Structure 1
Amino acid sequence: MPLSRPSSRRATVHDVAAAAGVSRGTVSRVINGGYVSPQARAAIEAAIAQVGYVPNTAARNLVRQRSQAVGFVVLEPHMLFLEDPNIGAIMLGANAALSDADYQMVNLVVDSERDTERVSRYLSGGFVDGVIIVSARTHDPIIRVLAQLAIPATYVGHPRDIDPGIPFVGIDNVGSARLITERLMATGRRRIGMIAAAVDRDSGADRVTGFQQALGRRFRPEMVAEVPLYDYSWGTKGMRVLLERDPDIDGVFAGSDALAAGALEALRDAGLAVPRDVGIVGFDDSSWALRTQPHLSTVHQPATDLGARAADLVLRQLRGDDVDAGGVLLPTPVVWRGSA
């Protein structure tokens, strides 16, 4: 005798109502958070479990003209999205806040002009209710798209040309870079260079500014080695450039911990000891800072909190709350360890 296969038909509100012995309207009130008697609620909840009813969220959202999703757009190469611990921490912080509010997070990575066009179409299609933007550069096409859509949005970071009506959450990159460079100078270093990444966006450019402010009249433009990405391999290359420009360099501010870790490799290859010959400091207080020997002195960037605050700002806009269009800056204390 052949085995009977279970029905693939999706259980409906009518099935729940029949099993609970109540009207369809009473079931709908329970599902939508309305009031019913405790006895009716108990019967309906038992019936839902019995028939295996799952609410059709897509249909409900269609009626409400909401997707119940928020886009998390990262304007970085795919490789950096996977390897950069800060991006991962920002993403997890945002996801936790969105999950608590019963929103789904949709990850979108922009690594090319084609990606920009594809993501722009996606955002324009109403597939998300709001968006969090990470690592936007000045004059980025996504900035123009958001201005046109008027969709609830928040930036992590502060590109200079963003719509003044869109809030942002970030850190004081200028002040933090100045502070840790001054701390490095206080150790007696006199020939200090910088490995600067991503100077086409606010984080990279502002860290160069802070470095320059700390050095004052001792600042030498040729002692800033610019590289494209906050990446280990570029830290190695940037350090080699600085050693070529000044073999007697005795201090380095790297624009991220990943860059600083790469710089340590180049210094070891050159036969130089850290911190005896060269003191080095990073930025982020990421997992890289504790993977090196010696551990990195660095600036603590509250990446998880940045993501959570960005998500909260989007959710507040979706609720219709008043949101200050200005920025929110989170504290960034210096963490001093053995590398300097």
Structure 2
Amino acid sequence: MSSHEGRLRRATIHDVAAEAGMSRGTVSRVMNGEPYVSDEARAVVEAAIEKVGYVRNTAARNLKTQRSHAIGLIVLEPHSLFLEDPNIGAILLGTNAVLSAADYQLVSLVIDSDRDSSRVAEYLRGGFVDGVVIISARAGDPIARAVAKMGLPASVVGHPIDVDGMAFVGIDNVAAAKAITSRLMQTGRSRIGMIASALDRDSGQDRLAGFTQALGPAFDPSLVVDFPLYSYDAGVTGMRQLLERDPAIDGVFAASDAIAAGALYALREAGRRVPEDVGVVGFDDSSWALRCQPLLSTVRQPAEALGMMAARSVLSQLEGSVPSPLGSLLETSIVWRDSA
């Protein structure tokens, strides 16, 4: 027997009709959820579908409707950070919840290199997804520009720095960073530094701006170190650098909770007590904040809600609606714990 002959034949709508003893038209109306089919006939057809093992031919449906019923989630971060960052996971879950309810499939696309960018751009041009949600768009990012050029329905989590006319959902990073830095200053700290990150995108730039505004004349650029990624390793290395630059440093704003967790490790390594010697605050209120010892003071941002709103924006665009306003900002809050 050949391998082809040994495979199970895919059940068709004709098989369902034969098993149900009904016309193909009646079976089609049941499958498409159309009216004018009795409850009894619907039950017979559904039983026949179950018996013959019929599975809808999605490829044929997509060819007919010119829709893939898939939405891409494009994450412009290395694979390691995709797995490490709880915010990305929360955004993914929020996006998937909305798409699943609308019978759309989420397709995750992680950009880790220039080769990935070229490959994913070609994939998008192939019509395999109907729209995209983009996370961590950077200045000069080729994917965001390709999406804009294609006119693909899209929403950015954050704010695209150099791509006009693209819908987005985010938070006021400047105001949030300013608020938590001011709160740290109120604890009596006088030498406050920052471990900044991702200065090639809006979130990193805005958090640094908020930190600078809060300190005002007390801002010392020598007490700012920056790294490409919101990572634990950036916190460890960054805190060591700050301690070398000024051993008297008594406060630190970390641009993310993961960075703050790394900073706490480096402070323990150096024999510094938190919060007695150095107060530390982070950003996100992710699971990192509750893993820290002491528990981390931080900014809470609604990551899952950001994913949900971005997904709704893309689905709305697919129905022909133009987002108005183009961008939406969700509220943040300060969660004050023992680290400061």
What TM-score do you get using the length of structure 1 for normalisation? 0.96
Query: In the alignment, which residue of structure 2 is the partner of 1:271?
Result: 271
Establish whether residue 174 from structure 1 lines up as the match of residue 174 from structure 2: yes
CA displacement at 1:69 relative to structure 2? 0.4
Query: In the alignment, which residue of structure 2 is the partner of 1:69?
Result: 70
Cα shift readout 1:82-104 (whole Å, capped 9, x = no counterpart): 11111111111111111111111
Query: In the alignment, which residue of structure 2 is the partner of 1:286?
Result: 286
CA distance in 1, matches of 2:7, 2:262: 59
CA displacement at 1:7 relative to structure 2? 7.3
Letter in 1 for 2:296: L
Query: In the alignment, which residue of structure 2 is the partner of 1:38?
Result: 39
Aligned partner of residue 252 in structure 1, secondary structure: strand
Letter in 2 for 1:288: W
CA distance in 2, matches of 1:296, 1:244: 23
CA distance in 2, matches of 1:337, 1:329: 25
Establish whether residue 137 from structure 1 lines up as the match of residue 138 from structure 2: yes
CA distance in 1, matches of 2:86, 2:43: 46
Query: In the alignment, which residue of structure 1 is the partner of 2:56?
Result: 55
CA displacement at 1:320 relative to structure 2? 2.1
Aligned residues: 335
CA distance in 1, matches of 2:250, 2:56: 64
CA distance in 2, matches of 1:169, 1:327: 5
Deviates more, 1:23-32 or 1:45-54: 45-54
CA distance in 2, matches of 1:87, 1:148: 26
Query: In the alignment, which residue of structure 1 is the partner of 2:300?
Result: 300
CA distance in 2, matches of 1:20, 1:210: 67
**CA contact 1:130–1:151 (8 Å) conserved in 2:** yes
Query: In the alignment, which residue of structure 2 is the partner of 1:203?
Result: 203
CA displacement at 1:325 relative to structure 2? 5.0
CA distance in 2, matches of 1:142, 1:6: 44
CA distance in 2, matches of 1:39, 1:240: 73
CA displacement at 1:60 relative to structure 2? 0.8
Letter in 1 for 2:98: A
Query: In the alignment, which residue of structure 1 is the partner of 2:318?
Result: 318
Query: In the alignment, which residue of structure 2 is the partner of 1:125?
Result: 126
Letter in 2 for 1:160: I
**CA contact 2:70–2:104 (8 Å) conserved in 1:** yes
Aligned partner of residue 161 in structure 1, secondary structure: coil
Letter in 2 for 1:244: E
Letter in 1 for 2:305: D
Aligned partner of residue 61 in structure 1, secondary structure: helix
CA distance in 2, matches of 1:17, 1:7: 22
**CA contact 2:193–2:249 (8 Å) conserved in 1:** yes
**CA contact 2:153–2:318 (8 Å) conserved in 1:** yes
Query: In the alignment, which residue of structure 2 is the partner of 1:157?
Result: 158
What TM-score do you get using the length of structure 2 for normalisation? 0.96
Aligned partner of residue 323 in structure 2, secondary structure: coil
**CA contact 1:143–1:163 (8 Å) conserved in 2:** no
CA distance in 2, matches of 1:155, 1:322: 15
Unaligned stretches of 5+ residues in structure 1: none
Aligned partner of residue 72 in structure 1, secondary structure: strand
Aligned partner of residue 313 in structure 1, secondary structure: helix
Query: In the alignment, which residue of structure 2 is the partner of 1:147?
Result: 148
CA displacement at 1:39 relative to structure 2? 2.1
CA displacement at 1:187 relative to structure 2? 0.5
CA distance in 1, matches of 2:33, 2:162: 43
Identity of aligned residues (%): 66
Unaligned stretches of 5+ residues in structure 2: none
**CA contact 2:160–2:168 (8 Å) conserved in 1:** no
CA distance in 1, matches of 2:155, 2:325: 10
CA displacement at 1:107 relative to structure 2? 0.7
Letter in 2 for 1:143: A
Cα shift readout 1:240-262 (whole Å, capped 9, x = no counterpart): 11111111001000000111110
Establish whether residue 233 from structure 1 lines up as the match of residue 233 from structure 2: yes
Query: In the alignment, which residue of structure 2 is the partner of 1:93?
Result: 94
Letter in 1 for 2:56: P
CA distance in 1, matches of 2:313, 2:85: 24
**CA contact 2:235–2:261 (8 Å) conserved in 1:** yes
CA displacement at 1:159 relative to structure 2? 2.1
